[in-house]
Every structure is written in C-alpha cells, then in structure tokens.
Copies of this chain bind each other. A is one copy, B any other.
Amino acid sequence: MITIALDAMGGDHAPRAEVEGAVLAAREYGVRIVLIGVEAKVRAELNRQSARGLPIEIVNATEVITMEDSPSVAFRKKRDSSVHVGAKMVKQGQAEALVSAGNTGAVMAVARFVLGTLPSVDRPALAAAFPNAKGGASVLLDVGANVDSKPEQIEQFAIMGEIYYRTIFGTKRPRVGVLSIGEEESKGNELTREASNRLKQTSLNFIGNVEGKDFFKGDVDVIVCDGFIGNIVLKISEGLVEHVAGMLKKALKSSLSAQMGYVLSRHAFAEFRKKIDYSEYGGVPLLGVRGITVIGHGRSNSNAIKNAIRVAAELCRAKANEKIEKELSAAVASARV
C-alpha cells in the first residue's frame, strides 16, 4: 500500500480540510495516509470523522509554517514543521509522497533541500493543470519554481511534464508546445527559439509555439515556459476568473428580473463554477525532486486535498520519478553524442 505523508497544517482551512480530505482519499483510493502536524489538533479533528478502520495515522510535528513565512526562514528555522517532518519521512522511505497545501515557496524549499533533485534533473518544476475548452486539461510548467531558465531546462520541463500528463490524464502521446507570442517558429524570444530547437530533436510529440490566445483551446496538452512567465499566467488566470465572476455576480443583482434569472439558472452556474474549479485537479506536482511532492492551493477544501492525494498516489504507482530519471538521462546522453 502506498503511503502518503500529508501536511495537516498547510492550507487556509487546515487541519479540517486536510483531515477530511485524508479520510475521503483513504476510503476511495486505498492509500495509507500519515497526517503530520500538531498532534492534539489533528487528533481532535480526526476524532470528528468516521475514520475507523482506515489506514490513517498521525505523526507529531511541533512547528507550523505560515503563509507569511519566507521560504528561507521556514526552511532554516522551523526544522520541526509538518513540512520538514513529512519530507524527512519521504527521504527515509517511510512514505512515498509528500502532499501539502501550505506556503508554496516553503514547501518547494524544503522539498528541494531535504529530498534533493533526481540525478539528471537540473531544476525541479511546478506543473499546473488548466481546464480547457475541449473539456480536458492543459498542463503548464514551470509555474514558479524557477526564474531565468535556460533552454536546456525548458527541455527538461517538457520531458517531465509529458510523463506527468501521460500518468494523470492517460494520453499516450501528449502534444507538447512552447508558450510564445507567435505561431511561426521565428517568433518568440531568445529562450523560446532555442528551447524549440532542442525540443524538435527529442522524441516528444512537439507541435511548436502556442500563443496566448490559443492557450485555453485544448489543442496542446503540455505547455512549457520559464517559471516567471508561468507563474504570472497562473495567477493572472486565477485573478481574471475571480474578476469576471465578480462582475457577473454584480450584473445578476442589478435588477429583479436578473435576480430571478439567476435563481432559475443557479444549477447551471454551479456546474460552470465546478468546471473552472482548480480543486478537481488536485494540486501542482513539483516534478524532479527525489520523492513525489504535490502542492495544493492554499485555499484547498477537502475535495482538493483528496485529489492532491490521488495525484500523488497515481504518480507513485506509475513510478513517474523512475521514468523521469530514465528519460532525462537518455536525453542528456543523446545530447552528448
């Protein structure tokens, strides 16, 4: 049975959302879950759930990393945080994966330094799934683990992202593209042109540049970019969906008939919101570290936690890290030839 180390103190709704998500995941996915956090709090929460007979344990961690802690302070000063304890369990083979909805920067720092990167990985990358117009998902990476990436790192992101996509979305030959500002090969900046040149020579199903206007169309499965750009795209998209939803809500309160209309179409709105809801996608894996690491959104509810655990378990079952190491070392070897 796969064991997941779950940071029970991470998200905005911790430990409740975490414990509920753990119970749901243990029941649905047949995984063992170790809840890591301030024991009394986590146990009180677990006692509220009907978790009897489920493979859920608690491991104490005395410190809590907050959303305000800087990654370096969190890493250096809070050695007994739930994130550290979880990462150490993975490092020591007591768990196969670490899941946290905590401070993204801190989780990344701890995972990178406690677990280390896979031998052939230059820099780990965060891979985020976006719902697209085809009803599927497009994965963008890196969304913020790195800035000022080099072309060879973008190539690595593509290889890691493709393995992730195959594992989680079941596509045999995911289409891979580079986020750029024109469809033509000559368009883009220095980084995208060089990265494209490299990607053309891989065995990936590389389809070239993807423009911003086509990002949500669903014609590409894995889209690579530098983490500065990817983070801006992720955050702008979240911000824009909220902004548009806010304006729509305001408009629907503007008159009595609009309000009645809203009541009648409430179910449709709920369906719509579900489709643009990140929580179905279950967090963002940090690809390339030794030990599966999945980072959930700070606002994760129990459903999001459950899905983050599912993603972690699937990556473990598929031996994603072995595949990443194998394909990357082959790519490095062929580049040397």
Binding site for B on A (CB under 8 A): 132-133, 144, 147-148, 179-181, 188-190, 211-217, 227-229, 231-244, 246-248, 251-252, 254-255, 257-258, 260-269, 271-272, 275-276
Contacts and interface: CB of A to CB of B under 8 A. Distances in A.
B147 A276 contact: no
Nearest to A182: B105
B275 A265 contact: no
A260 B267 CA distance: 12
A278 to B, nearest CB: 13
B233 A212 contact: yes
Q: Which one of A147, A242, A263 has the greatest number of beta carbons of chain B within 10 Å?
A: A147
Contacts of A217: 239, 243
Given A212-B233, A238-B213, A276-B244, A189 B261 contact: no
A148, A180, A243 pick with most chain B CB within 10 angstroms: A243
24 contacts: A133-B246, A148-B190, A179-B232, A180-B228, A212-B233, A212-B236, A212-B239, A216-B236, A216-B243, A229-B229, A236-B236, A244-B276, A247-B272, A251-B268, A254-B268, A255-B268, A257-B264, A258-B268, A260-B261, A260-B264, A261-B261, A261-B265, A261-B266, A264-B264
A8 B146 CA distance: 46
A152 B267 CA distance: 52
Given A243-B133, A252-B265, A231 B257 contact: no
A72 to B, nearest CB: 10
Quick one: copies of this chain in the complex?
A: 2
Nearest to A179: B232
Contacts of A266: 261
A335 to B, nearest CB: 25
A196 to B, nearest CB: 14
A240 B231 CA distance: 16
A264 B261 contact: yes
Contact of A239 (B181, B214, B262, B267): B214
Contacts of A269: 251
Nearest to A225: B232
Nearest to A237: B240
Contact of A251 (B181, B241, B264, B271): B271
Contacts of A235: 181, 211-213, 215
A258 B264 contact: yes
